Chains A and B, each alone.
Chain A
Amino acid sequence: MKIRSKTITLDELDWNILQLLQSNAKQTFTEMGRKLDVAHSTIYERIKKMEEYGIIKKYTVSVDLEKIGKRYITAFMTIFTDPKESEAVAKKLSEMREVVEVDTSLSEELLIITKVVAEDQEKLHSFIANKVVSLPGVLRIRTSIVTKKFKESGFPIKVSKPK
């Protein structure tokens, strides 16, 4: 990892470590070192540095809710907003428990795209009707309910095969 005038450049080993962590963040430094053909102490140092510089933001957990009997639906909500209010709308949405992702996009109109989860369609509608539509600046909303998920992953990290 090189740092030049506030720009951090990762080398191939850093990228490989990130790729391994993205697939399983619980593996040990020794396991990773073996896979990448480097000492575990090197892995430790690289990870520590990436944590320090905020490249690795957090370690999280992916839960299979269906296995514990929690059924839920996911929907993508596109919110057309008044440009003056869109920042405030995005911030308010980010504070809501049901909203798991908030992004903004500029096409013909300013849009906020959010990923929402709810127990069922009725609860999803009630959430949108009671908490989202009345936010100042919301012009209209288009919602698509996810019927089947084919893929979910993080940023695609380029992998080079270990020597």
Chain B
Amino acid sequence: MTVFRPAQRILRKLPRENAFYFFTSIGNYTGISADSLEEFVKRILEVNVKSLEFHLNRGDFEKWAEETLEDRILADEIKKLQQSKPIGNDLRDNLYLIVSKRHERLKKPAPRTPPKQEFAWKTETTTKQKTA
């Protein structure tokens, strides 16, 4: 069963051990990291494109989105991108588009839900009881 997390939880600032650390290859850390979805969007534009290729091919972005941010929707969108195997700036542009759009969507306030009918039902019961 898919559990949809509230936007606030996905947008939270993460502890440093859960941040996303950008590598260019096995064991080679660029010094760039992101500790929130907002920062991740910015870093996509800054980091070496080799790093984006490295992580996309390994499925690291998808895994971080799903397991750390707990955003299944973003993880699915990144997975779709991974399947199309983009490279270079094409990859950067598409990844930025997906992640920034998702970030914008999550930042928007959720629509208000209509008030519950529980109070009206209780009133009706009370009226019936009185009649009896």
Residue of A nearest to B27 (CB): A143
B18-26, B76-84, B89-97, B122-130 - the one binding chain A: B18-26
A132 to B28, CA, bound (A): 11
CB of A156, distance to nearest CB on chain B (Å) = 30
Residues of B within 8 A of A49 (CB): none
Are B29 and A128 in contact (CB-based, < 8 A)?
yes
Partner of B28, one of A130, A134, A139, A142: A142
Bound complex: CA of A80 vs CA of B29, how far in Å? 10
- Give bound CA distance, A138 to B19, whole Å: 14
Instruction: Judge whether A42 is part of the interface by a CB distance below 8 angstroms.
Output: no
The verdict on A110 contacting chain B, using a C-beta distance below 8 Å, is: no
CB proximity of B84 to chain A, nearest CB, Å: 24
Please list the 3 inter-chain residue pairs (A to B) with the smallest Cβ-Cβ separation, ordered nearest first.
A143-B27, A140-B31, A141-B29
B18-52: CB near A (< 8 Å → 1, else 0) gives: 01010100111111010000000000000000000
Q: Are B26 and A121 touching (Cβ within 8 A)? A: yes
Chain A to chain B contacts (Cβ below 8 Å), 25 pairs = A75-B27, A80-B31, A121-B26, A124-B26, A125-B23, A128-B27, A128-B29, A129-B23, A129-B29, A130-B17, A132-B29, A133-B21, A133-B29, A134-B16, A134-B17, A136-B16, A139-B31, A140-B29, A140-B30, A140-B31, A142-B27, A143-B26, A143-B27, A143-B28, A145-B27
Give residues of chain B (48-83) contacting chain A, Cβ–Cβ below 8 Å.
none
Residues of chain B within 8 A of A125, CB atoms compared: 23, 26-27
Nearest A residue to B32, CB-CB:
A140
Specify which of B17, B27, B29, B30 lies most central, judged by the most chain A CB atoms within 10 Å of its CB. B27
**Closest A residue, CB atoms, query B19:** A134
Residues on the B chain within 8 Å of A138, using CB: 29
- A77 CB within 8 Å of chain B: yes
Q: CB-CB contacts of A31-58 with B at 8 A, as 1s and 0s? A: 0000000000000000000000000000
B31 near A134: Cβ-Cβ < 8 Å: no
